[in-house]
Amino acid sequence: MRVLGIDPGLTRCGWGIVDGRPGARPTAVGVGVIRSSAELDLELRLLELHTQVTALLREHRPDVVAIERVFTQNNKGTATGTAQAAGVAALAAAQADRPVAWHTPSEVKAAISGNGRADKEQVTLMVTRVLGLAAAPKPADAADALALAVCHVWRGPAQTRLRTAALAGGLGAPMASRTLPRWTGVSAR
């Protein structure tokens, strides 16, 4: 499986591409950062991001795009820009007919380091070790994007199977229309 990891941001949007499968050591294919100037109008910055992500999708043909799920931050301006960048990356993936997987920062940190509260240095160190890189990816946005891709390689297939099973069992339906399994004898109605 080939995964394009995206650590969204308006000024610096990290990207990392990894090949791998669960239970095996993944391999880094490429890594970098898409930059845009704060001097540009917002719509031009988003257009540049879309253009660059689209180019990555065409060149590397990933099976899936893993994007960091935006969480509420103290700085609402930063959270808004991050959310806009994530949305543009998801749009580019949809236009390329590639599925998108969303992973929280703590989920990615736990997957790569075993600690959901790992700092940037720990994440970078573990990405370097797990992927067997000669040098640490810089800046941290690039390392975070590789961590997202590794997280999805290791956890994505199992999460997809669980989601599919839940939907097949009616667990994805609204609570009022669900019936609990027969063995309980209890109905959700």
Task: Tell me the catalytic residues.
Answer: 7, 68, 141
Cα gap 14→9, rounded to integer Å: 8
Q: Report residue 143 as tokens.
A: 């390392």
Q: Report residue 50 as tokens.
A: 């879309």
Q: Report residue 52 as tokens.
A: 């660059």
By three-state DSSP, how is residue 162 classified? helix
For 27, phi and psi rounded to 5 degrees? -125, 135
Q: Is the dihedral of CA 89, 31, 51, 4 positive or negative?
A: negative
CA angle 170, 174, 178 (to 5 degrees): 45
